[in-house]
């Protein structure tokens, strides 16, 4: 069967941007900027974007496009023993999408509650006790929260119908799901700048605190944010670019994706801080405190800000539709990694059937986060996945491509097909800069986690986190050994 293709280059670009632009842009980026030095945070962020993020994106694009295979197949073409890296990537993808979909399920609940602005009395209480019905600790599972499970089912049905025909259905969906949240953000921005206090919010967002630049944590956060926001390390960009023609442009698409993604993050920052500025002026809460509220930003602080506005229901609906449309194309891009890899290996299977079973697997893997201790598990999984799996996968990829396969043939391929040339600096970035920076990130995180166990969770719960890192890692090593042994026997 012929390989699936994108309908056009614009469709590919929209799909790549759709994957990159997600919850990470709207709450993670503004929250990091607020926490780590305001305008000064933009310096490490932009440096990370240019010297690490975009080169890595170019690498994922060229690998997928040149090899014309998803994660497992592409890695195997880089080196016959490297298929196991694809397994590592696939398991990580399954785990990330399983909880990303749960966050979307919360958004569905909030969308429904928007019609009556049900949280307005006490947003924090509403999130913890009405939506999550959170238990008193990770030790107490507290049974399944059926409303979240129901909304999760809805989310997975939506995801399924976005991807069931592969590039064909994804191509149609992204025409709407990528511009829609940007338009909605624009409307929210218009609302923000007509409210008192928005300028104070912008000041808190952009005012540079230069002393932040000497704090290593600011730098490590900027680098890991760039990886997360560009959907790197999970095989998404490899899979997506494998559906392009072998001689399509690479460099320009990569730069465009990276620039559009960061532009949307910056833009989202204005919206978020504008509205927080208004909230600070209405409630006398310091802005810093509001911005640094982490995951609570989208589901506690922001809903509260929305409820203070005139026509609160309208802007709440806009906000949660924005969040859902923002999240869905990131979520299904991860599912595509699994679909792509499975179909490469088993060409006789039917796309819609594979998609169905992958969605079922993602749904089942997410059930744990719908229990009353779900938030704790989500927090642990997210911590380990983004700090270890993502970074490890990226390190393995650059070693495989940069040192084992060789960067120069890849760079030559890019320059043969691209309008924009990629200079020798790219080789240096892939071979030295990225692995060194990522190893430093990994080492810093590891020493932090060993010294102070993350989030004060009990040992068994953190054990699950470590298992999420170590099980795929062990499978990778086993596959490697197996391939090697088979090769010797032949």
Enumerate helices (H) and strands (E) in the chain, giving the number of each: 26, 0
Q: Which of 77, 478, 30, 451 is nearest to 242 (CA)?
A: 77
State which residue, 81 or 243, has the beta carbon closest to ligand PHE: 243
Q: Does 381 bind ligand PHE (CB under 6 A)?
A: no
Cβ–Cβ < 8 Å for 325, 175: no
333 binds ligand PHE (CB under 6 A): yes
Q: Toward ligand PHE, which CB reaches closer, 234 or 476?
A: 234
Task: Please select the residue that binds ligand PHE; options are 13, 18, 25, 58, rule is CB under 6 A.
Answer: 25
Q: Count CA atoms closer than 13 A to 140's CA, side-chain side.
A: 7
Rule CB under 6 A: is residue 234 a binding residue for ligand PHE?
Answer: yes
Q: How is residue 8 written in tokens?
A: 């056009």
Q: Name the nearest CA neighbour of 397 among 446, 423, 445, 434.
A: 434
| 236 scored as a contact of ligand PHE (CB under 6 A) | yes
| 330 lies in the site for ligand PHE, by CB under 6 A | yes
Question: According to the binding rule CB under 6 A, does residue 98 interact with ligand PHE?
Answer: no
Nearer to ligand PHE, 235 or 312 (CB): 235
Alpha carbon of 152 to those of 108, 312, 363, 371, 449: distances in Å? 9, 25, 7, 12, 31
Q: 22 by DSSP, 3-state: which?
A: coil
Q: Which of 11, 13, 16, 23 binds ligand PHE (CB under 6 A)?
A: 23
Structural contact between residues 6 and 12, judged by C-beta atoms closer than 8 angstroms: yes
Shortest Å, Cβ 20 to ligand PHE: 5
Least distance (Å) between residue 284 CB and ligand PHE: 32
User: Least CB distance from residue 365 to ligand PHE, whole Å?
Assistant: 15
Q: How far is the CB of 394 from ligand PHE (least distance, A)?
A: 11
Residues 6+ apart with CB under 8 A from 132: 106, 145, 148, 372, 374, 375
State which residue, 118 or 330, has the beta carbon closest to ligand PHE.
330
Does residue 221 sit in helix, strand or coil? Answer: helix
Angle between helical axes of 312-345 and 351-366 (0-180°, round to 10): 120
- Between 22 and 166, whose beta carbon lies closer to ligand PHE? 22
Q: Which stretch binds ligand PHE (CB under 6 A): 122-130, 158-166, 266-274, 327-335?
A: 327-335
Query: How far is the C-alpha of 187 from the C-alpha of 268, rounded, in Å?
Result: 11
Q: Is 228 in the site for ligand PHE (CB under 6 A)?
A: yes
Of 177-185, 228-236, 342-350, 428-436: span binding ligand PHE (CB under 6 A): 228-236
Using alpha carbons, select from 263, 261, 255, 221 the residue that is nearest to residue 57.
255
Runs of H (alpha helix) within 308-433: 312-345, 351-366, 374-384, 390-398, 407-417, 425-428
The only residue of 218, 250, 279, 334 in contact with ligand PHE, by rule CB under 6 A:
334
Closer by beta carbon to ligand PHE, 195 or else 328: 328
Token readout for 149 is 């499970």
State the Cα–Cα distance between residues 310 and 176, nearest whole angstrom. 28
Residue 20 engages ligand PHE in binding (rule: CB under 6 A): yes
Q: Does 24 bind ligand PHE (CB under 6 A)?
A: yes
In the set 229, 242, 281, 370, which binds ligand PHE (CB under 6 A)?
229
Total residues contacting ligand PHE by CB under 6 A comes to 15
Supply the minimum distance, in Å, between the C-beta of residue 276 and ligand PHE: 20
Q: How far apart are CA 435 and CA 238, in angstroms?
A: 19
The CB-of-53 to ligand PHE minimum distance in angstroms stands at 11
240 binds ligand PHE per the rule CB under 6 A: no
Question: Which of residues 145 and 242 has its CB atom nearest to ligand PHE in the complex?
Answer: 242
What residues make contact with ligand PHE under the rule CB under 6 A?
A: 19-20, 22-25, 96, 228-229, 231, 234, 236, 330, 333-334
């Amino acid at each position: 069967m012929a390989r699936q293709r994108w309908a056009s280059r614009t469709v590919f670009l929209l799909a790549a941007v759709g994957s990159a632009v997600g919850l990470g842009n709207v709450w993670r980026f503004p929250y990091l900027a607020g926490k780590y030095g305001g305008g000064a945070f933009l310096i490490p962020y932009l440096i990370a974007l240019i010297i690490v993020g975009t080169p890595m994106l170019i690498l994922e694009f060229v690998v997928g496009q040149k090899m014309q295979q998803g994660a497992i197949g592409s890695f195997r073409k880089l080196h016959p023993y490297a298929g196991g890296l694809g397994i590592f990537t696939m398991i990580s993808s399954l785990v990330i999408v399983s909880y990303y979909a749960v966050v979307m399920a919360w958004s569905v609940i909030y969308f429904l509650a928007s019609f009556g602005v049900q949280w307005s009395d006490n947003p924090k209480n509403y999130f913890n006790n009405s939506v999550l019905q959170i238990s008193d600790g990770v030790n107490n599972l507290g049974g399944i929260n059926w409303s979240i499970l129901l909304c999760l089912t809805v989310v997975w049905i939506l995801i399924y119908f976005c991807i069931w025909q592969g590039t064909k259905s994804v191509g149609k969906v992204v025409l709407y799901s990528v511009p829609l949240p940007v338009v909605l953000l624009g409307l929210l921005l218009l609302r923000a700048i007509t409210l008192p206090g928005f300028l104070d919010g912008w000041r808190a967002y952009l005012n540079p605190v230069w002393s932040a630049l000497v704090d290593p944590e600011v730098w490590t956060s900027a680098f890991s944010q760039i990886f997360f926001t560009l959907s790197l390390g999970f095989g998404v960009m490899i899979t997506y670019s494998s559906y392009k023609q072998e001689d399509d442009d690479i460099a320009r698409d990569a730069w465009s994706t990276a620039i559009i993604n960061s532009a949307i993050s910056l833009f989202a920052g204005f919206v978020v801080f504008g509205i927080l500025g208004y909230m600070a002026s209405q409630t006398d809460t310091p802005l810093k405190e509001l911005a640094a509220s982490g995951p609570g930003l989208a589901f506690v602080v922001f809903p509260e800000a929305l409820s203070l506005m005139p026509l609160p229901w309208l802007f709440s609906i806009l906000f949660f539709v924005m969040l859902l449309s923002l999240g869905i194309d990131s979520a299904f891009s991860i599912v595509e990694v699994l679909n792509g890899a499975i179909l490469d290996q088993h060409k006789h299977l039917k796309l819609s059937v594979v998609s169905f079973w992958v969605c079922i697997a993602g749904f089942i893997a997410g059930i744990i986060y719908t229990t009353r201790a779900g938030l704790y598990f989500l927090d642990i999984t997210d911590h380990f996945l983004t700090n270890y799996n993502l970074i490890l996968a990226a390190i393995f990829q650059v070693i495989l491509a940069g040192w084992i396969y060789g960067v120069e043939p890849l760079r030559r391929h890019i320059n043969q097909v691209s309008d924009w040339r990629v200079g020798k600096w790219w080789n240096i970035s892939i071979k030295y800069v990225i692995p060194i920076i990522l190893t430093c990130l990994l080492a810093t995180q590891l020493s932090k986690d060993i010294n102070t166990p993350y989030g004060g969770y009990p040992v068994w719960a953190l054990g699950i986190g470590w298992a999420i890192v170590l099980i795929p890692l062990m499978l990778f090593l086993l596959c490697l050994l197996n391939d090697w042994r088979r090769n010797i026997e032949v």
